[in-house]
Amino acid sequence: MDDLGRTTISASGEPVDEVEVGGMSRAELRAALQAHGIALNDHADVLFAHPVFDASVRDVVRVVRRTVAELGQTDGATLPQIFAAAQAQGLGLCPATTGPYLRLAWDSQAASANSVMSAGRSPDGALTVASPVLDDDVDFPKGFYLRVVDGRPWLRGYGCDDLYVFPAGAVFAFRDLPGKCR
């Protein structure tokens, strides 16, 4: 990832981006996204309405990227399988509020090769933020992903059930847990 806050090197020698998460109210965060020209979809609006955005505790999150294949799931995997594989590699889930802050910090994401906004599959060029699922209702969005379409940065919420298989090339952002073996 390019210029996501401060870059450090993990114990395994890979670059890790540090992003400050929290510290803004829901209204301040939405205003910051709007000021940066970041578009949201309806699922992102639903996530923003969740009480997790009521508390604004600051935290520094060390973010690392992994494709589903890099997690050992070369044929693709479901969300629960992806989260379990990441945990087995010593990676954690990002706080549920990470997506908007990550979108604000990452202003150099490459544009998607296509402009299809919703096709029932993992979108081209997306970075899905691995975070706790906020509601077990299959119709409630599972989390955020970041994407640039036609030059415009997006913070989008996504939905899926526990049977949807993300392709091996899908990219997720996880929390690096210092001191964990990988």
Does residue 182 sit within a domain? no
Is 30 among the domain residues? yes
Q: Containing domain of residue 66, as a range? A: 6-176
pLDDT at 156: 94
Q: Which residues contact 77 (CB under 8 A, 6 or more apart)?
A: 68, 71, 85, 165, 166
Is the separation of the CB atoms in 41 and 159 below 8 Å?
no
Classify residue 33: in a domain, yes or no: yes
**Average pLDDT per 10 consecutive residues for the chain, totaling 182 residues:** 50 69 94 96 96 89 95 97 97 96 88 66 85 94 94 93 95 86 49
Q: Is residue 61 part of a domain?
A: yes
The pTM for the full model equals 0.89
> How high is the pLDDT of residue 155?
96
Using an 8 Å Cβ cutoff, are 36 and 104 in contact? yes
Structural domains of the chain, count: 1
Within-domain flag for 1: no
